[in-house]
Structure 1
Amino acid sequence: MGLDAFFNRGGNTDDRDRDRLISEIEELQRQVRSLKEAEENRKNADAEIFNLASFPEQYPNPIIEISSAFEVRYLNPAAKKEFPDLLRKGRKHPALRDLDRIIARFQSTGEQSVQRELEIGDLLYKESIYYLPGNQAMRIFIKDITEQRRLEIAFKESEKRLRMITDNMMDVVSVTDIAARYQYISPSAERVLGYKPEEMIGKPALFYMHPLDAPRVAAVIQEHLSKGLPGRIVLRFRHKDGHYVWLEAAGDLLYDDNGKLSGAILSSRDISDRKAAEEQLNSSLKEKEVLLKEIHHRVKNNLQIISSLLNLQSAYIKDDRDRHIFKDCQNRVRSMALVHEKLYRSESLSKIDFAEYIRSLSGTLYNSYGATQDQVRFDLDVKDIFLDVDAAIHCGLLVNEIISNSFKHAFPGGRKGRVWVEMKVDGNDIDMVIGDDGVGLPEDMDIYKTGTLGIQLVTSLAAQIGGDLELDRSEGTVYRIRLRELK
């Protein structure tokens, strides 16, 4: 498994630091390639010196032959072009300075060659000087190494900047080859992972990865590589002492001058403390969820006890009017208890599915008033309405009061009819329609001035939740309530 098993891009690492680091690495790699190329050219040139010595006219770099008396015997075309004033100046030319010392060295030590660097104007040259004792002469091969030296200086400066960045970073910075083997890793690895950098160089990143994370990492990385999109990955890395450290890794691919994938740069941050805090928070949230469910459960039980007490008490009431009042109170308590029961059984502790709530509430009211679907049909058109506890209790009481009034008054003498509830979302508002096609309310009844408790509750509850209430008596009794910003 190569880079596609351990590459990603993005993450929490500061973008500016990451981009700067990546730029430094890429520039450093470019300079390394240039230096390697220059060194390879130098080696090839040195190897060709003697081969091309027999054909100096074809050699691209200057060749000069000097007699032991320091007379210029020969200049190839490249030398004439590079140093047009050399014949005129002779041994006084900068390219020929200090040759007396060099020939003395040859004669005293027996050496056959020597190399030196010379600055001539703004350029830097390397001279390879060979002693030809049989000819009593020296042959000098000269090469302009100005650009090579510039690259070397730039490389050292970039390397210094890079090490200053990586050595002082809290994150672990690493460079891998195409097989995901570490080519470089910052000193911070010892602080975060326990390994010295030299212990990790050459080893594959997969070696340190948690076995359970490897397939997931490979899948995520493959996706990022195929799409070329930024991303992030969290994984566990084995510490030197054996335990696993949670890391968040971010990085970028590295390419050579031909655009071929050559490796990757990664910046990995220790997030073990954050993961521990997340686990503690999740544990705490679960405990609070259990506690909140228990609260809803106990509230529901207490309300059911109140409802049962009302039911028991109503058995001792002889007056029908008073018995109906107790039944109405009992239904109101049940409607509130039902909200807490739904929350207790729901996965969400903040909102309930109001359609499911109304279905349950309507069943309770059917039983309470002895109604049947054959006599009074109940239609429900409520979809994707979720309300919090306060709104659900208010809306539940509204539905309870209006439907209870319908069952009690809209269908006298066994008259058949229909009761319905509709709720539609309109932006942040909810439109609620609750009605029946029964006998209807008297035309002269003012719902805001009536002495009937049930209708007073309807107008009061609508006002408490900021609802706009309208009453339509054209065909039965229809309440239209616009609930503002309940969604």
Structure 2
Amino acid sequence: MKRGHHIAGLIKDFPDEERGSLGDQGIISLAAVPIYVGKEWWGFIGFDDCEREREWSLVEMDALRIAADTIGAAILKQQIESEIRKSQKRLETILEAVQAGVMIIDAESHTVVDANPVAVQLIGREKAEIIGKICHEFMCVAEKGKCPLTNLKQVIDSSERVLITAKDEKRPILKNAVYIELDGRQRIVESFLDISHIKEAERALMESEEKFKTLFMNANDAIYICDDMGNRIKEVNNIASEMLGYSRVELLGMSPRDFNASEYAALLPERLQELKRKGKTIYETIYVDSTGKSIPVEISSRIIDYKDKKAVLTVARDISERKMAEEAYKKEVLLKEIHHRVKNNLQVIASLLSLQSRKFQDRDVRLAFAESQNRIRSMAIAHERLYMSKNLKNIDAADYIRNLANYLLYSYRIGTEKVNLEIDVDEIYLDIDKIIPLGLIVNELITNSLKYAFDPGKEGLVSLSLKGRGSSLVLTISDNGNGIPENVDIFSTGSLGMQLVTTLIEQLKGKLEIDRCAGTTFIMTFEDLDRYCVRAEVL
């Protein structure tokens, strides 16, 4: 039965299929109208008469229509209210389940209509303290009158804002706001996420990146980052620019092949493959700077993540000084070996002279051989002290002279057993060219004292001192023996030893004084020798 239609009349006049069921109920007359709930037919309502045949008045039919409309409206209202309750229940369930804070706000008054548990927790107040309050009390405090939806007429607002908590803390949030129709009114649903941890992570990341940049740019070694194929430099520090003589902008457009020496550049693909296999690699290479200068460097490379991509981090250390030190060390080792061999060769010569001297019975001849041996031995000791020294340029004069003097005293021990040796030498270091002639002078003069100054078996003292006096170096050798008579000119005696002494003093640009009182004293002053020596206090 369509809306607005009705049925009214005697049962006997109804179609056969309807008359049967109605007649069985004893109905004689019937009036009925349909009941619609919204647009849907729900049923009908009517009057019937089981006693007599009758016609239904217009008043009766209007009453039925009013009753039908009332029942339909009541049922519709009930359905709507049920749906509303279900909808509200679903909304409450959703609000409680969602992990973001959600507030429902009246679009006209900006008052909070509802808030979910997460919003209540984030704000830190009771729900009752939040409902009915203006939303600007909790977020967008600085934006009053500039609501993106109601004032700026945006359809949706997605932005970072600040949530004000009950403790007046400002908590960063990510907010989304949209219009909805709810309860017949226009509402705004604002959902927001606490992004404090994200902001903290961003801050930590920025600090980390800043530290990395500071360390990267101020490292003592050249550092650059290039793509994982080693083709283009992506970042470079200040030291790399200084080392290679290119600006940062120039280097950012270059490849490591551009500043590796050609013979080393050819090895880069192989080294890149090794780096990819192992994740890191260390090797030495030669860089060539913008002026063509070669720079030996030690390379340390590893694979890193850089801007969400794999990249190669390379640290290049200038090892020029290390290479020079290595070369100097090799030379030092070589020089030590040379001095060692010279010493050995001199000892062989001294031994050969000793063997040769045994063929002669003449005492003077054998003594001459012995003196030559001692001269050679004085030079051998110098080379020995040099290769044993940490400093190949200079020899400890005190150590050398003590060794030489004690050796001579031992060599001439027969007949001089009661002669003592007194040595007083400053800590002075001389190079090999100065120490050998000085040692030969010491050798000759101490030998003369031991041979001629003392009668056999008599007590005696031989003194030796080497002192720095101002800019001069003074060598004094004396004995308290028999002395040299005043009428003897030691420079015209034809003695090889004294001729050697005077020649060596002249070679060292020194001057000789002789004191014949209480034995013999030789005083040698070397004005220029101090330029070639190093005092202990400056070592």
Please, what TM-score do these two structures have when normalized by structure 1? Answer: 0.47
Which structure has more relative contact order (CA 8 Å, sep 6+)? It is 1
Please, what TM-score do these two structures have when normalized by structure 2? Answer: 0.44
Q: Which structure dedicates a bigger proportion of its chain to helix?
A: 1
Higher alpha-carbon Rg:
2
